[in-house]
Amino acid sequence: ATGKEHWPRGDEKVWKEALRGVDKDVPSVTKSFVNHVQTSLARQAYNLDDLGAYQAAALSVRDNLIVNWNETQLNYTRKNPKRAYYLSLEFLMGRTLDNALLNLGLKEEYRDGVKKLGFSIEDILDKERDAALGNGGLGRLAACYLDSGSSTELPLWGYGLRYKYGIFQQLISPEGNQLEAPDPWLENQNPWELPRLDVTYEVRFYGQSERLANGRGIWQGGQEVVAVAYDVMIPGYGTKTTNNLRLWESRPKRGFDLNSFNAGNYEGAVESSNTADAITSVLYPNDHTSFGKELRLKQQYFWTAASLADIIRRFKQQGKPMNQLPDYVAIQLNDTHPTLAIPELMRILIDEEDFGWDQAWSIVTNVFFYTNHTVLPEALEKWPVPLIEHVLPRHLQIIYDINLFFLQAVERKYPNDRERLARMSLIEEGFPKQVRMAHLAAVGSRKVNGVAELHSDLVKTTILKDFVDFEGVSKFSNVTNGITPRRWLDQCNPELSDLITKTLKVEKTVWLKDLAKLKGLIPFAEDAAFRKEWAAIKQRNKERLAHYVQTTLGLTVRTDAMFDVQIKRLHEYKRQTLNILGVIHRYLTLKAMTPEEKKKVNPRVVFFAGKAAPAYYIAKLTIRLIVNVASKINTDPDTKDYLQLYFLPDYSVSLAEVLIPASDISQHISTAGTEASGTSNMKFCLNGGLLLGTVDGANIEIAEEVGESNVFFFGHLTPAVEDLRYQHIYHPVPLEEKCPGLARVIEQVAAGLFGDAEIYEPLLNTIRQTDYYLLSDDFDSYIAALGMVDEAYQDQDEWVKKSIKTTANMGKFSSDRAILEYAESFWNIEPSPVEAPKKAT
Ligand code: F58
pLDDT in tens, 599-620: 999 999 999 999 999 999 999 9
Angle in degrees, CA 733, 738, 742, rounded to 5? 125
Ligand 1 nearest atom to the CA of residue 679, by list position: 9
Per-residue pLDDT for 406 more than 90? yes
Instruction: Choose one of 291, 374, 699, 701 to mutate for the ligand 1 pocket test, by most ligand atoms within 8 angstroms of C-beta.
Output: 374
- For 247, the 3-state DSSP assignment is strand
**Would you place residue 521 in the very low, low, confident or very high pLDDT band (cuts 50, 70, 90)?**
very high
Per-residue pLDDT for 836 more than 80? no
Per-residue pLDDT for 256 more than 90? no
Classify burial at 786, counting beta carbons within 10 Å of its beta carbon; exposed 0-12, middle 13-18, buried 19 or more: buried
Task: Give yes or no for residue 381 CB within 6 A of ligand 1.
Answer: no
Q: What is the pLDDT of residues 411-432, one digit of tens each?
A: 999 999 999 999 999 999 999 9
**Would you place residue 257 in the very low, low, confident or very high pLDDT band (cuts 50, 70, 90)?**
low
Confidence (pLDDT) at 817: 98
Mean pLDDT of 227-246: 98
Q: What is the pLDDT of residues 492-510, one digit of tens each?
A: 999 999 999 999 999 999 9
**Would you place residue 258 in the very low, low, confident or very high pLDDT band (cuts 50, 70, 90)?**
low
Of 216-220, 259-263, 735-739, where does mean pLDDT reach its minimum? 259-263
Confidence (pLDDT) at 255: 65
E runs forming strands in 282-396 = 329-334, 368-371, 382-384
Query: What are the residues whose beta carbons fall under 8 Å from the beta carbon of 444, sequence distance 6 or more?
Result: 339, 342, 364, 365, 368, 370, 402
Cα gap 743→721, rounded to integer Å: 21
Percent of the chain with pLDDT strictly greater than 70? 97
Task: Give yes or no for residue 349 CB within 6 A of ligand 1.
Answer: no
- Residue 159: which of 249, 87, 91, 229 has the closest Cα? 87
Sheet holding 223-235, edge to edge: 193-205, 223-235, 242-252, 156-161, 83-87, 329-334, 368-371, 447-450, 476-478
Cα gap 91→146, rounded to integer Å: 9
- How far is the first Cα of the chain from the last one, in angstroms, to the nearest whole number? 14
Domain locations along the chain: 526-808
Confidence (pLDDT) at 286: 86
Per-residue pLDDT for 841 more than 50? no
Q: What is the pLDDT of residues 86-118, one digit of tens each?
A: 999 999 999 999 999 999 999 999 999 999 999
Task: Give yes or no for residue 702 CB within 6 A of ligand 1.
Answer: no
Mean pLDDT of 679-702: 98
Q: How far is the CA of 613 from the centre of ligand 1 (A)?
A: 13
Whether 679 sits among the annotated catalytic residues: the reply is: yes
- Residue 449: which of 469, 476, 473 has the closest Cα? 476
Confidence (pLDDT) at 3: 60
Paired residues of 728 in beta bridges = none
Cα gap 276→224, rounded to integer Å: 8
Active-site entry in 240, 373, 446, 611: 373
Active-site entry in 241, 577, 679, 806: 679
Q: How far is the CA of 725 from the centre of ligand 1 (A)?
A: 24
Q: How far is the CA of 125 from the centre of ligand 1 (A)?
A: 28
Per-residue pLDDT for 247 more than 70? yes
Whether 13 sits among the annotated catalytic residues: the reply is: no
Active-site entry in 36, 95, 446, 574: 574
Q: How far is the CA of 134 from the centre of ligand 1 (A)?
A: 10
Is residue 334 within 8 Å of 88, Cβ to Cβ?
Answer: yes
Mean pLDDT of 546-571: 98
- Architecture in CATH for domain 526-808: 3-Layer(aba) Sandwich (3.40)
Neighbours of 290 (CB within 10 A): 18
Confidence (pLDDT) at 308: 98
Whether 502 sits among the annotated catalytic residues: the reply is: no
Per-residue pLDDT for 25 more than 70? yes
Ligand 1 nearest atom to the CA of residue 676, by list position: 7
Task: Give yes or no for residue 611 CB within 6 A of ligand 1.
Answer: no
Whether 569 sits among the annotated catalytic residues: the reply is: yes
Per-residue pLDDT for 16 more than 50? yes
- Residue 217: which of 34, 371, 60, 401 has the closest Cα? 401
Task: Give yes or no for residue 134 CB within 6 A of ligand 1.
Answer: no
Q: How far is the CA of 451 from the centre of ligand 1 (A)?
A: 10
Per-residue pLDDT for 749 more than 90? yes
E runs forming strands in 396-445 = 427-428, 434-436
Task: Give yes or no for residue 162 CB within 6 A of ligand 1.
Answer: no
Task: Give yes or no for residue 376 CB within 6 A of ligand 1.
Answer: no
Q: How far is the CA of 461 from the centre of ligand 1 (A)?
A: 20
Between the alpha carbon of residue 280 and those of residues 299, 301, 789, the distances in Å are 7, 12, 46
Task: Give yes or no for residue 138 CB within 6 A of ligand 1.
Answer: yes
Task: Give yes or no for residue 135 CB within 6 A of ligand 1.
Answer: yes
Classify burial at 640, counting beta carbons within 10 Å of its beta carbon; exposed 0-12, middle 13-18, buried 19 or more: middle
E runs forming strands in 479-630 = 562-567, 604-609
Per-residue pLDDT for 261 more than 80? no
Ligand 1 nearest atom to the CA of residue 481, by list position: 13
> Is the pTM value of this prediction over 0.95?
yes
Confidence (pLDDT) at 2: 56
Of 229-238, 434-443, 465-474, 827-836, where does mean pLDDT reach its minimum? 827-836
Confidence (pLDDT) at 840: 43
Task: Give yes or no for residue 693 CB within 6 A of ligand 1.
Answer: no
Whether 337 sits among the annotated catalytic residues: the reply is: no
Q: What is the pLDDT of residues 619-628, one digit of tens each?
A: 999 999 999 9
Task: Give yes or no for residue 373 CB within 6 A of ligand 1.
Answer: yes
Mean pLDDT of 445-474: 98
Q: How far is the CA of 676 from the centre of ligand 1 (A)?
A: 8
Confidence (pLDDT) at 407: 98
**Would you place residue 701 in the very low, low, confident or very high pLDDT band (cuts 50, 70, 90)?**
very high
Q: What is the mean pLDDT of the chain?
A: 96
* SS3 readout for 301-332: HHHHHHHHHHHHHHHHHCCCCHHHHHHHEEEE
Neighbours of 348 (CB within 10 A): 18
Which residue's C-alpha comes closest to atom 21 of ligand 1? 287
